[in-house]
Structure 1
Amino acid sequence: MEALYYYWSIWFVWIMVTFIMEKSLWRSVLGICVLVHIIFSHVMISVLDISINAGFLMTFLYACAAFVIFRPSYRMMRIMQLGSMVSAYAFFMIFALYDPVWFTIIKVDWVVFALLILMCMTYGQPLTERITLWMMSVCLGEALYALTIHRLTSSIVIGDLSFLSFVVQGAVFLLGVDQFEKLLNARSSRKSVKGAAKST
């Protein structure tokens, strides 16, 4: 089921990138990155008794490259915000592991998803900053969570298909919010132009 969610989500992102974005070099690079991500999503890299998904590593590398390329303003503040998001992710995942009663009705994934999406929308203003914060926070949070519970498990998997589906769904949600904000801004600008024309 997780694999189905992942494939539907990642193909939806590829369709949005290919057909909705304006033609540019950035669109071509992004489309190729999404396709490569799909290809390597089933490749696992083993380090000692830890298995790391290649798609997880690629997502983290994309986020680090975006953080360097786009050069967000107030970089030190962004790092502190990222630290709070990583801590929130790891805290809720560990809390659900030790006390699952609180998450019998609402899944912990939904709580973490809603919390981190709200934090991304609050901390980052452009879409690039929001998606960069999202990908870095969930990747680092997953790694921190895995390393924390490593003593309790014989082997551990970082970045399985359910996690990749979680990452992609968050990116799709942020893309949708960005398109909705652009639509609202376009409508408000049209109303202001009409109001100015009527006043003259």
Structure 2
Amino acid sequence: MEKSTWRNVLGVCVLVHIICSHVMIAMVGVRINAGFLLTFLYACMAFVIFRPVYRIISIMQLGSMVSAYAFFMIFALYDPVWFTIIKVDWVVFALLILMCLTYGHQLMERITLWMMSVCLGEALYTLAIHRLTLPVVIGDLSFLSLVVQGAIFLLGVDQFGKLLSTRSSRKPVKGAAKST
């Protein structure tokens, strides 16, 4: 990434996010990670700034992704036999990545969908099981690790797509020998 104001702002946001990831905020018997709140704030700002063309469709897609996240996490809690070999985090990760790649057309749209769906899914899951667990914690460090892994994976897929498109768009040089 070349040096720019956007890169500096992004760097400051990442550093603030890392600092806040170990701070817990207690509200009404629920402990919320400050990193979770920042992630959700970034996702909401991106949703407003980058304005999806079809906002209603984006909201419906987001709803399906949030439901999928919460469903698999609750399903793994009540029926752990299915997830003894494969951890539920990997199933949720793969499912939501596939949904992001299917629903989103551009990188920012995909990352925004990823961050919002994981944040809202985590909140829905935690609030759904809060009667079963005494300390309710929204957005622990494993959640933040899932968010970062997904964003990096989506960025890697985007860069790989750009690499393939530039490679396929090369024109052969005149006079060059053909290889068989």
Q: TM-score range by the shorter chain?
A: over 0.9
Matched, 1:194 2:172: yes
The residue that corresponds to 2:58 in the other structure is 78
Q: Which residue of 2 aligns with 1:119?
A: 99
Partners of 2:38 and 2:17 in 1: CA distance:
7
Cα offset, 1:48, TM superposition = 2.0
Higher helix share: 1
What TM-score results when the alignment is normalised by the length of structure 2?
0.94
Measured after TM superposition, the shift of residue 90 of structure 1 is: 0.1
Q: CA RMSD in A?
A: 1.1
Letter in 1 for 2:18: I
Is contact 1:46–1:52 with CA below 8 Å preserved after alignment?
yes
| Contact kept? 1:49, 1:154, Cα under 8 Å | no
Question: Which sections of structure 2, spanning at least 5 residues, go unmatched?
Answer: 176-180
Question: Could you tell me which residue of structure 1 aligns to residue 157 of structure 2?
Answer: 177
Distance 1:32 1:125 in 2: 27
TM-score (norm 1): 0.85
Q: Partner residue of 2:81?
A: 101
Number of equivalenced pairs: 175
For residue 121 of structure 1, report the CA deviation from its aligned partner. 0.4
* Structure 1: 5+ residue stretches without partners: 1-20
Instruction: State whether structure 2 residue 14 is matched by structure 1 residue 54.
Output: no
Indicate conservation of the 8 Å contact 1:85/1:116, yes or no: yes
Between the aligned partners of 1:95 and 1:41, the Cα distance in structure 2 is 27
Q: Does 1:167 align with 2:147?
A: yes
**Structure having greater relative contact order (Cα 8 Å, sep ≥ 6):** 1
Instruction: State which of 25, 36, 59 in structure 1 corresponds to 2:16.
Output: 36
Whole-Å Cα distance in 2 between the matches of residues 120 and 22 of structure 1? 26
Q: Which amino acid aligns with 1:47?
A: M
Q: CA separation in 2, counterparts of 1:85 and 1:28?
A: 31
Query: Which runs of at least 4 in structure 1 moved beyond 2 Å after TM superposition?
Result: none
Sequence identity (%)? 80
Q: Which residue of 1 is the match for residue 43 of structure 2?
A: 63
